[in-house]
Structure 1
Amino acid sequence: MEIVKIVAFAFIALAIVIILRKSNDTLAVQVSTVVGILIFLFMISKITAILQLLQQLAIKANIDFVYLNTVFKILGIAYLASFCSEICRDAGEGNIASKVEFAGKILILVLSIPILMAVLQSILKIM
């Protein structure tokens, strides 16, 4: 059970961060950031496996890779923007966090326009 390892690691890190926050807030934020990055790195192998599975399914379903790559980029933007905004909030910078989330949403919207146009063109062909 990998989640048990992650949760145990997170709780230990949380205890350390709480202790450090009383004496050195800057170091506490740095430890919190490093812990978040380590958990993310631990999950990269799982993310890779999921992406490979989705690619295999797309090949079987004859889905154009342009659309699949766009969906992967959108997912990456969503996860990275969320990760970054949470780190900013941990550091007490809610204003920066909200701007990162806003930028992520705009980038997702920009990437989704070609997919939206393809769907609309398909609908128009059907009519």
Structure 2
Amino acid sequence: MEILQIASIVLVTVLLTLLLQEQQPVYAFLLVLFVGCGLFLFLAGRMAEIIFMIKKLAARAEIEFVYVETILKIIGVAYIAEFASQMTRDAGQEALATKMELAGKVIILSMAVPIMTLLIETILAMLPGT
């Protein structure tokens, strides 16, 4: 099971980080950064499978792909912003991590505006007398 591999890697990294933290805190952070990036890349294949399945479902449901693509991009921005924010927090840069989260939220909002507009227009079209 992949989760056991991931959990093992994380636990070994935690132990090594605890050992390195006192002597070489920079190396401890770099270890966490590299393992975090490695796990993210390891999961990229899984994410690609999920995206492929969502595309197939959207095609079967005859949903315009531009909206599905936008939603997938929004999810991607959320994951990347969260990952970068957590790594920044691990480096002890709380203020910068908060700014990263804000940047992610603003980008997500700007990407969601066309979908929100379409949703509001659809609702207005269904209301009687408009």
Tell me whether the two structures share a fold, i.e. TM-score over 0.5. yes
Report the counterpart of residue 81 of structure 2 in structure 1: 81
Alpha-carbon distance in 2 for matches of 1:15, 1:92: 19
Alpha-carbon distance in 2 for matches of 1:89, 1:123: 41
| Structure 1 residue 24 displacement after superposition | 1.0
Q: Deviations over 1:8-55 (max 9, x none)?
A: 000001111111111111111111000001111111111000000000
Report the counterpart of residue 42 of structure 2 in structure 1: 42
SS of the residue corresponding to residue 92 of structure 2 reads: coil
1:93 maps onto 2:112 in alignment? no
| Structure 1 residue 70 displacement after superposition | 0.5
Structure 2: stretches of 5+ with no match in the other structure? none
TM-score (structure 2 length as normaliser): 0.96
Alpha-carbon distance in 2 for matches of 1:63, 1:20: 52
- CA RMSD in angstroms, aligned pairs only: 0.6
Alpha-carbon distance in 1 for matches of 2:19, 2:81: 28
Alpha-carbon distance in 2 for matches of 1:20, 1:95: 25
Give aligned pairs, total: 127
Report the counterpart of residue 20 of structure 1 in structure 2: 20
Alpha-carbon distance in 1 for matches of 2:9, 2:16: 11
1:108 maps onto 2:82 in alignment? no
Report the counterpart of residue 10 of structure 1 in structure 2: 10
Structure 1: stretches of 5+ with no match in the other structure? none
Report the counterpart of residue 67 of structure 1 in structure 2: 67
Alpha-carbon distance in 2 for matches of 1:95, 1:16: 27
Which one-letter code corresponds to 2:86 in the other structure? Answer: E
Which one-letter code corresponds to 2:65 in the other structure? Answer: F
Moved over 2 A (4+): none
TM-score (structure 1 length as normaliser): 0.98
Report the counterpart of residue 124 of structure 1 in structure 2: 124
Report the counterpart of residue 31 of structure 1 in structure 2: 31
